[in-house]
């Protein structure tokens, strides 16, 4: 696992010994930089940002911190170390040696998974590109940009697989990853949530909590793949993902801490009256990003999911963790999936387990989201505030799956009209209020905007008044 940090593309995949692949990736690199300058973080390309850069795949000491101008960031290709004698851990090929090359018959399905995963990475950078101008502190600005450069590194991870394993098709797909654009009607990003605007920091923190967590679960499932290069690349991506999730959850927690403080100052517990983000508004953002993120699991009854599992391409969460699952073939098991019947009555239908794997993954994801909500609600409870944030029912506001054709309220009851759903999602007036509240960037080291509490976590052991960004 030699890490080559000095070549044009830092890597541990032996690019120096594969001139054809190296040249192909080096030819893509300027197009990537052009994309980054045009659609990456706005107005900050020449500033120096205190960023971590992946430099190794060792658990201890995998990253290095220092000031970097983002277009000069060392985006590298890193695969987690190989596991000796690894076998396909599930599906019809269970126990066969893991594949180092793409099996011909799985090529189309695998390419689709890699492209879908790859597409989300530049999409999120595009979605977040304007947030810098309203950053609540240099600390938060730096975290945003850290997340952005790492999502771009994840794009490199998928592009490497396309170039190394999918020939001409792969090269074309790599180009297309820079052509599609989040929210642009005639060339949108592949998955729904990655075309929604992230126009406020509250959107960003909710996106990092809920949508990045879908990323964690999807990457973990792909990290089980029988196609070993995909498994290894996803395993290393998961190292970076943990930070993104914490940026989201802690961001919302700091908003709550500030809101609670402002509520306590007001006889009617009115945080907005004091320039804070009120709890019903926050709940509407939770409703929006949670339901959008559930759609990223696909349909709970899915032949695609069954084929991907049978073929050994996409496993379950922690499929190969010893003792976690007894059955890795799933030929006989069934799972009950909730669906409405044509008259809108709820029923549970047993489907073959392989077809229900999106639902199983989604359920595990929901359980983890519940824990974030519980930690947020602790902030409210310890301030003696009665309001509690809640995850909406998985039936609410769905565009994918059996609940997409009908309307359901956050409490899971049927809704009569679309208007009732819209009232539970961010309102135009919420966005206008937040736009005014968040206006302007806080540029002084150590200062934090008035709608969010200062962070308690440190970055690389630096104090809060550290100059995380040196503006050009
Ligand atoms: N939007 O059988 P179905 C991340 C399509 S996030 C639009 O129900 P399947 C990140 C589907 O493509 C993780 N279309 O579902 C986070 C299919 O179309 P075709 C990203 C959708 O295929 C933050 C049809 O509906 N990684 O990393 O089992 C920042 C029927 O599909 C959607 C992955 O997603 C949707 N939401 O599952 C940065 C992993 N959902 O083929 C990054 C790779 C479904 O009929 N992807 N469709 O034309 C997959 O494993 C699967 O493609 C999905 C869908 C889980 C997404």
DSSP string spanning 182-223? TT-TTS--SSGGGGS---SHHHHHHIIIIIHHHHHHHHHHHT
Q: Of all protein residues, whose CA lies closest to atom 26 belonging to ligand 1? A: 117
Does residue 147 carry a pLDDT above 80?
yes
Alpha carbon of 405 to ligand 1 centroid (Å): 18
> Where does the pLDDT of residue 1 fall: very low under 50, low under 70, confident under 90, or very high at 90 and above?
low
What is the strand order of the sheet 48-54 is part of?
63-69, 48-54, 469-470
Q: Count CB neighbours of 27 within 10 A.
A: 11
Token pair, residue 132, equals 């810098």
211 lines ligand 1 (CB under 6 A): yes
CA distances from 16 to 20, 79, 229 (A): 10, 15, 18
Choice from 40, 206, 298 to test ligand 1 binding pocket (greatest atom count within 8 A of CB): 298
Alpha carbon of 181 to ligand 1 centroid (Å): 17
CA distances from 135 to 84, 177, 185, 397, 431 (A): 46, 28, 28, 30, 16
- The pLDDT, as a whole number, for residue 165 is 98
What's the CA dihedral at 139, 212, 430, 259 to 10 degrees? -50
195 lines ligand 1 (CB under 6 A): no
> Where does the pLDDT of residue 42 fall: very low under 50, low under 70, confident under 90, or very high at 90 and above?
very high
240 lines ligand 1 (CB under 6 A): no
Choice from 109, 146, 304 to test ligand 1 binding pocket (greatest atom count within 8 A of CB): 304
Does residue 60 carry a pLDDT above 80?
no
Rounded average pLDDT over 300-317: 98
- The pLDDT, as a whole number, for residue 56 is 84
pLDDT in tens, 225-273: 999 999 999 999 998 899 999 999 999 999 999 999 999 999 999 999 9
Alpha carbon of 315 to ligand 1 centroid (Å): 15
In whole angstroms, give the CA distance from residue 256 to residue 55: 36
> Where does the pLDDT of residue 134 fall: very low under 50, low under 70, confident under 90, or very high at 90 and above?
very high
- The pLDDT, as a whole number, for residue 422 is 98
464 lines ligand 1 (CB under 6 A): no
275 contacts 262 by C-beta, under 8 angstroms: yes
If DSSP codes are grouped into helix, strand and coil, which group holds residue 378?
Answer: helix
Does residue 16 carry a pLDDT above 90?
yes
Rounded average pLDDT over 56-80: 90
Q: Which of ligand 1's atoms lies nearest the C-alpha of 207?
A: 23
Q: What residues contact residue 392 under an 8 Å CB cut-off, 6+ apart?
A: 286, 287, 290, 291, 410, 411, 424
Alpha carbon of 296 to ligand 1 centroid (Å): 5
Q: Of all protein residues, whose CA lies closest to atom 24 belonging to ligand 1? A: 298
Angle in degrees, 0-180, between the axes of helices 138-165 and 228-264, rounded to the nearest 10: 160
Does residue 59 carry a pLDDT above 80?
no
114 lines ligand 1 (CB under 6 A): no
Half-sphere exposure of 371 (CA within 13 A, CB side): 8
424 lines ligand 1 (CB under 6 A): no
Q: Of all protein residues, whose CA lies closest to atom 41 belonging to ligand 1? A: 304
In whole angstroms, give the CA distance from residue 425 to residue 419: 10
Does residue 2 carry a pLDDT above 90?
no
> Where does the pLDDT of residue 198 fall: very low under 50, low under 70, confident under 90, or very high at 90 and above?
very high
224 lines ligand 1 (CB under 6 A): no
In whole angstroms, give the CA distance from residue 76 to residue 96: 31
> Where does the pLDDT of residue 38 fall: very low under 50, low under 70, confident under 90, or very high at 90 and above?
very high
Q: Of all protein residues, whose CA lies closest to atom 45 belonging to ligand 1? A: 304
Token pair, residue 405, equals 């054709």
Token pair, residue 157, equals 């991870």
296 lines ligand 1 (CB under 6 A): yes
Q: Which of ligand 1's atoms lies nearest the C-alpha of 222?
A: 39
State percent of the chain over pLDDT 70.
Answer: 100
State percent of the chain over pLDDT 90.
Answer: 96
Q: Of all protein residues, whose CA lies closest to atom 14 belonging to ligand 1? A: 191
- The pLDDT, as a whole number, for residue 55 is 87
Does residue 348 carry a pLDDT above 80?
yes
Half-sphere exposure of 15 (CA within 13 A, CB side): 24
> Where does the pLDDT of residue 342 fall: very low under 50, low under 70, confident under 90, or very high at 90 and above?
confident
Rounded average pLDDT over 368-390: 98
Rounded average pLDDT over 391-398: 98
Q: Chain-wide mean pLDDT for the chain? A: 97
Does residue 282 carry a pLDDT above 70?
yes
In whole angstroms, give the CA distance from residue 164 to residue 77: 12
In whole angstroms, give the CA distance from residue 125 to residue 41: 7
Residue closest to 251 by CA, chosen among 438, 462, 423: 438
0.95 surpassed by pTM: yes
């Amino acid at each position: 696992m030699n890490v080559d940090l000095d070549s044009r593309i830092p890597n541990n995949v032996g690019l120096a010994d594969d001139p054809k692949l190296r040249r192909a990736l080096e030819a893509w690199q300027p197009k990537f930089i052009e994309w980054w300058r045009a659609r990456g973080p706005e107005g900050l390309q020449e500033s120096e940002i205190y960023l971590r850069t992946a430099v190794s795949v060792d658990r201890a000491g995998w990253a290095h911190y220092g000031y970097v101008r983002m277009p000069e960031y060392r985006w590298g290709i890193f695969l987690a170390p190989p596991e000796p004698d690894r076998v396909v851990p599930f599906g019809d090929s269970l126990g066969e040696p893991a594949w180092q090359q793409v099996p011909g018959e799985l090529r189309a399905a695998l390419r689709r998974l890699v492209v879908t995963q790859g597409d989300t990475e530049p999409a999120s950078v595009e979605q977040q590109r304007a947030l810098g101008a309203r950053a609540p502190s240099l600390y938060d600005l730096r975290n945003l940009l850290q997340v952005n450069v790492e999502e771009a590194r994840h794009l490199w991870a998928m592009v490497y697989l396309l170039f190394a394993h999918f020939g001409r098709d792969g090269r074309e797909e790599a180009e297309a990853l820079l052509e599609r654009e989040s929210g642009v009607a005639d060339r949108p990003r592949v998955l729904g949530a990655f075309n929604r605007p992230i126009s406020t920091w509250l959107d960003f923190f909710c996106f990092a909590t809920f949508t990045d967590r879908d990323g964690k679960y999807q990457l973990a499932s792909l990290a089980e793949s029988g196609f070993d290069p995909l498994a290894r690349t996803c395993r290393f991506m998961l190292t970076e993902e943990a930070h993104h999730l914490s940026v989201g959850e802690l961001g919302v927690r700091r908003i709550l801490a500030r809101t609670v403080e402002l509520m306590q100052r007001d006889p009617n517990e009115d945080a907005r009256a004091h320039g804070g983000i009120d709890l019903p508004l926050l709940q509407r953002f939770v409703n929006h990003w949670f339901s959008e993120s559930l759609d990223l699991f696909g349909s709970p009854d899915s032949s695609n999911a069954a084929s991907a599992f049978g073929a050994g391409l996409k496993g379950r969460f922690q499929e190969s963790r010893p003792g976690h699952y007894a059955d890795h073939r799933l030929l006989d098991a069934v799972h009950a999936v909730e669906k409405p019947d044509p008259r809108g009555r709820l029923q549970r239908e047993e489907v073959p387990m392989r077809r229900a794997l999106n639902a199983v993954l989604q359920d595990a994801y929901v359980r983890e989201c519940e824990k974030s909500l519980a930690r947020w609600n602790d902030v409210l409870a310890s301030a003696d505030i009665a309001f509690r944030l809640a995850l909406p029912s998985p039936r609410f506001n769905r565009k994918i799956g059996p609940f997409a054709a009908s309307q359901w309220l956050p409490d899971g009851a049927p809704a009569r009209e679309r208007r009732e759903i819209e009232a539970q999602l961010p309102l135009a007036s919420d966005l206008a209020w937040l736009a005014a509240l968040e206006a302007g960037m806080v540029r002084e080291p150590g200062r934090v905007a008035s709608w969010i509490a200062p962070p308690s976590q440190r970055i690389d052991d630096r104090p809060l008044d550290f100059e995380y960004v040196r503006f050009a």
